[in-house]
Structure 1
Amino acid sequence: MYASSVNGLKNVKFSNPIKSVGLMLFMIIFSAIVVCVLVVGLFSYSTSKSIIKEKVAESSSVAIAQSNGKLDLMFKNYEALSMQILLDKNVQDYLTQYKQATDDYDKFDLMKKLSDTVQSYILGNQSIIGAAIVPMSGDSSSVTMGGTNITTADAQKSDWMKSVTEGAGRLVWLPTKVKGYSSSAATDPTFAMGRVMKNTISNEGSFVLLIEIRLKEVGDQLKDLKLGSGSEVLIQDGKGKIVYSADEAQLEQASPVAVPSDGKTAEEGSRTTTDSDGDQVLAMYNKFESTGWELVGTVPVSELFKDAKQIRNATYIIAGIAALLAIGIGLLVIRMVAMPLVSLRNLMNEGERGNLTVRSTISKKDEIGQLAQSFNQMMTQITVLVNQTNQSAQDVLATAGELSDASKKTAISAKEIAVATEEIANGATSLAVEAEKGSDLTSDIGGQMAKVTDANQEMGAAAAEVEKASRQGTAYMNTLIEKTGMTEEMTRSMVEKVDRLKESTRSIRKILDVLNNMTKQTNILSLNATIEAARAGTAGKGFMVVADEIRKLADQSRQSIDVVGQITETIQREIDETVSVLSDAYPIFQEQIQAVKEANQIFLTVQGQMGDFVGRLGTVTDAIGMLESSQVVLSEAMSNVSAVAEESSATSEEVASLSSEQTNISEGLVRLSDQLETVSTGLKETLSRFRT
């Protein structure tokens, strides 16, 4: 499993290992296991050290207390011995007599007796090396007993003499001397007790009693006190100097162990301190009630915790095994979690770059496998959506082309309609001019008919002129009828073309509705894709970008379709208005044609009558009457023709204006069609980046 995990890791490309989920899970598992093992092991090691220290301190304190009790009892026995000597009746008598004696011999004899009495107390006590009675002042010689040999001069200058004197009768315990208080090379180390020998009656003292005790006696009492390997037992005085040690080299030296000795702390206890070598030791101390000294026992901390180090070493070994186990578990987690996630991330990156053919091959049943299946389904749906959108874009592009062609044809038709309308307007203007000329001519005919009676001789010339004018009017009316027919035909053609254009705009509306529905569907699919990507969490961020791009394309398509729809509605509304105007103009053109035909008929009648007038000049009076009647009818007809011509000219100008506006609208429709074609081409190019 370890080898396969490592090989799998080599095939996976991590973009940033620091941000990798697998690496974070590996570090969490590794740290949790190793830290827990180290914390538990080191805590056990620390706890065992504390327990060992407490237990050793407790047991050693008990042993120190027991030894302290034994030594204290021994010291009290010595103290009791000194009191017995001091309170002895003979000693007190000798002291009183010595005080009263004036003869040197008597004093010498009394001192001898005093010495014998004291010696009787210490005789047979193997622990006492000797005693001495030293005068506090004066030149008297001191008296020594046993192994003690002290001169008066040396004693009176010594520190111990000063200490005993300052004791004022109390027993003073004196520290150990390596060579004894007599400074003899052969003497064993001794310590001493001294007190002023006072008279119990006068409470005056002239001598100091010094009793030297073998230090070996203390060692005998402490020989059974064992505190452990490397332990040491000391007795130190109140000044921190060693009174007893198994090593004689330490005697009279400063104690290597600092323990409370200022009277402000407890008289017994334990503490961790350092010795003279700087090593940590556990010191237990207990103060003697009788001497004020302290019995100190020390045990090296390293010796105490020697066995506890096995726990620490075992902790490090187990931590190493736990680290290897954590590495194995971490690699397993990377293989089961990180590698599939990285694979899905790489597939999503491929999808983001437009490759929609990627599919996941993960077939697990857990959440990662479900995520892989969801990714495959999502890519399938997106592929279908892109294909549909691509097809729709092609349809929109084709429709845009058709719409562009139809718009161009509409623009051409609008231009033709504008030209025809302009010609109709010009014809109507000419008709109005000719009608005005006809009206003037009719007025001239009326004037001439008024003068017919007075100037009959001029009748022939006037008739000729009238006949000529009739021929011209007939020609003009024929031309007007022909142009009016052409105008009617163009108007009918324009109505038919506008109807066809209206049908084209309806087709455009239907196509725009289809595109709008497709855009809505694209938006819904994009929203679903965004939701699926959000549910996928960090792994779906890459696909969320694809969904967002599709949604933007759908929004752009919807906006373009809305713009085209609005423009199409405007075109359809303008076409409806054009149809309405042409529908209103068509009956007017028919009336105009009818009026022109009637005017033409009148001209023909005038021409016939004028022919008859020329042919039948003899019937002038009757012809003049008929001519007057005809002149009245002609005048009315010319007035109607003028009015119709003016109305036709105004209508033609209005139609020309509408045709110009329709031309502008058609050109705008062409531009919008080109814009729709450009948008469709852009949509197609955008969708072409997706490979399906």
Structure 2
Amino acid sequence: MKAIVKKAKSLASTLPGKIAILLFLVVLILVLLIDIFTVTFSTSMLRQNIEDSISTSTFQSGKYFDQILERAKDLSFQLATNETLKKYINVQKTSNDDYEKLEWKKEAQKALLSIISSNKFISSVYILINKESSLGYPTISFDNIDFNNLFKSNWVKMAFESDQGFIWCADHNQYFNDILKEVGSDVRDYSISVVRVLYDPSTGNKIGLIVIDIGKDVFDEMLSNIKITKNGISFVITPDSKIITSKNLSTAIKSKINVIKTTISEKADKKDADIFETNLPDVWIVSYSKSSDSGFIYASLIPKNDITSKISKLQLVIILISLIFGVFVIGGSFFGTLKITKSVKVVLEQMNKASGGNLTAFSHVSLNDEIGILSDGFNKMVSQLRELVGKVKQLSEQVNKTISTIATIASETTAASNEVAKAISEIAEGACSQANEATLISQAMSGFTKDVINMVEDFNRMNKVSEEVLVKTDRGYSAIEVLRQVAGNSQKTTKDMILRVRELIGWVEKINKIMNLLSSISEQTRLLALNATLEAAKAGESGKGFAVVASEIRKLAQQSKDATKGVEEIVKNILSKAKFSEKVVDDVENIIKLQEDSIRSVEISFTEMKNAISDLLEGLQRAIKTLRVIDSKKDKIFNSVENISAVSEETAALSEEVSAATEQQLASIEELQNMVYSLRNLSEELNKAVSVFKVE
């Protein structure tokens, strides 16, 4: 055992052992990561697929149940609209012939039989009207049924009050099945019934019900055959919260369904289909689907262990496969590593020789993989190093000769550069003095230039203001002319208005006289009408007609008098207003005369102002011309001074640049000498270093 451990330790200290251990760890980590990811992902996907499968199965089962329910609902509608049944109801209601009633009852019974025979899921059909007219299949006697109590039962009331004209009923035993069982009638078990209202064909009134029972064995068989998982259970919740299950369920399972029923109904009110977990007390998965047409809820109840057991098996299979894969990968990696490290050792031995300075080393590895490429690259590198070392030795000798020549030239160049630097320094000092004097002259001219510019700008502004004042004076003078014309027109209009007002007063006075005359005529007419009335009264019956006319004339005379008084009042008001207007117009005429005098005075003032501004403007323009001549000559002088200053500054700057370049050249020559000494030392060190390598 100790020998095996020792061998393992020695193997682990070698490169192949280290690579093998590294590969083992990498593969182990990868396998673990893959296992974790695969198990997690597959578990999640499997669970999701199982839940989707459960939901789909529940939905498809619901669709199948819905088809049966829809078929039963359609059959109830066919019976309600069946012509034979309608004729039978009319005969029972109107005919006194018992034979005819019996014949039509047989026909109606045949219609029921045809429906039952072609639809095996129906256990029984009842047409409930009264004791005499009711029908049923299987055939039963309705003599013991109290139809008054029957139509007062809860399930019948619900059918009559339904807006759809039918209901789904899980229990119609009240006053019907219970009584039939008591008297020993052949009553079949049912899971659910469609109860439809039956109407009188002639009046449209509600007269009874059509009851179609779906056999209990049909639902029992379907629910028993639905096996989503080994221990899965399927059941149906009716719209009135009744539960339909298969008959072979245990009491414990039925109690679990009763517990979860309310939760499913509440969830179905919010969402038509869903799947969720619940504790009963162990964990169960519940899937349901609510029919939007019938309102039935189709549900499945699956123990969670049925799903987790499948998932656990899958996890175990994945782990085993991963372990087997890991073993094969690790074994293959180990043997491949041994083969690789053998070739690597050969290359490393030759590299050690080359690192010691022996450039005659050569790697004899003939492989087509990366190790072979590494070996070929090493051999090429050693060959190129041999050539490089030989060339370095030759170049080192040539560099030593060149360094001696450069040192001699650098010494001669340094002496010449020193003499040039002294001459340039003297030129630079003279150029600087000249530039300073030119700068002083330029500054003085700059101040003079600014003063001249300011004077020109001030005179320009004064000229501009004077021109604007002159323009505004012209506008004022023009406005006064317009005002004077308007005043003249106003005076003329006022005079015309005075004449019109006075004419109006004359016409009003004439109207007043005419109205006085009309008032007098109206008074005389009224007196004449009164006298005519008196004369008509004296004439008796023969004067009645004339009396009526006289009465009307009197009324008209009175109305004329009243109207004349109103007009007189209006005329008096107009006359008083017209006289007041005449006074106002006289006042306006006086005001206009004063306004005209004021306009003449303002016009004279504006004329004098315009002449004074014109003289001022001419003087300003002459001053501006003189300043412009001074400004143009000033610019020439200032430009000349600036040119002299610029040339002096440029000369000084060039002298400084040449001086700086000369100093820089001297510094470069000194640096070149230093570099020559350094290069000579490096060349000697390079010769010593190259002498270490063995190239032959």
Q: Which has the higher helix share?
A: 2
TM-score, L = length of structure 2: 0.37
Between 1 and 2, higher relative CO (CA 8 Å, sep ≥ 6) is seen in 1
TM-score, L = length of structure 1: 0.37
